[in-house]
Amino acid sequence: MDRKQRILELLDQKNTLYLRELETEFPEVSTMTLRRDLSGLEAMGQAIRIKGGVRSVKSLEGGRQEDVYDRRLAVNAEAKAKIAALAVPFIETGRSIFMDSGTTMLALARLLPDTNLSILTSCPHVALTVLKKYLPTVNIIGGQLNRLNATVCGSQAMDFVKGYNFDVAFVVPSAFSLENGLSCGNDSECELKRYIIQNASMKIALVDSGKFGKSMPFTFASFSEIQILITDTKPEEDVMRFAETHDIKIIYK
């Protein structure tokens, strides 16, 4: 039986599966390979990465498909709230701001100052949250809606953003490592994020510590392209050294 299929079978049985269990189940396979398997399953929408393992996207109630985005809201919620609070000071009145998709970005949208801002986002949840405020102008990218990530991407989305320039771009990767930079699991989403990075004056990455040292199939920015990285705990020393060498500001609490 294919290893990934066996992992899915175990997830069906247990709902939550940890890496240490997989190391016991597949002693002939390296831990790094197992991590890639889990990232691959997440990229295909078949699992949700958590610290030290994965969760099934199936609910225990009736075996029906749960909303993956809602499930992610509960993962590392405290860390995302910390990161959002640390990002607020970089939002200044009168600025043009891109707000990426993702549950960390939704946490920031809730804290967004009610002031004159021009907001562009690829996430309907973020747009609707900002819309509850009175003063920001809200624009949402048009195109194909990715059910897994609740984000708009694809060729129509790329046509929509052409010509846009941003004072500040807040981006949220699915994974982060020194080797592969900021990455995600969808090629179309990666293309859109890459364009945003190339056309923003200030690039700020919001990355919870659970994503550190991980990689997804598609890199949209190297670490050196980011000016500020905001996270919830102090990163490992190699990340800190790289940031210092490349004049990248790391903010954590």
CATH number, residue 51: 1.10.10
CATH number, residue 176: 3.40.50.1360
Final residue of a domain: which of 66, 85, 112? 66
Is 13 in the same domain as 40?
Answer: yes
**Is 204 or 53 the better-scoring residue by pLDDT?**
204
Is 82 in the same domain as 61?
Answer: no
Which residue, 172, 88, 96, is CA-closest to 139?
96
Is 127 in the same domain as 206?
Answer: yes
pLDDT at 134 > cutoff 90: yes
Total domains in the chain come to 2
Is 51 in the same domain as 119?
Answer: no
Is 221 in the same domain as 134?
Answer: yes
Is 27 in the same domain as 125?
Answer: no
Least confident of 17-31, 64-78, 84-98, 103-117: 64-78
Final residue of a domain: which of 13, 35, 66? 66
pLDDT at 60 > cutoff 50: no
Q: Is the dihedral of CA 17, 179, 239, 148 positive or negative?
A: negative
Tell me which residue range forms the domain holding 18.
Answer: 3-66
Is 59 in the same domain as 93?
Answer: no
Amino acid sitting at position 163: G
pLDDT digits (tens, 9 = 90+) for 160-212: 998 888 999 999 998 999 999 999 888 888 999 999 999 999 999 999 988 99
Instruction: Tell me the average pLDDT across 36-58.
Output: 75
d(C-alpha 217, C-alpha 199), whole Å:
23
Is 11 in the same domain as 95?
Answer: no
Please tell me the total number of residues recorded for the chain in this structure.
Answer: 253
Does 71 fall in a domain? no
Is 148 in the same domain as 24?
Answer: no
The pTM assigned to this predicted structure is 0.73
d(C-alpha 109, C-alpha 91), whole Å:
11
Is 185 in the same domain as 90?
Answer: yes
Is 52 in the same domain as 119?
Answer: no
pLDDT digits (tens, 9 = 90+) for 85-128: 999 999 999 999 999 998 899 999 999 999 999 999 999 999 99
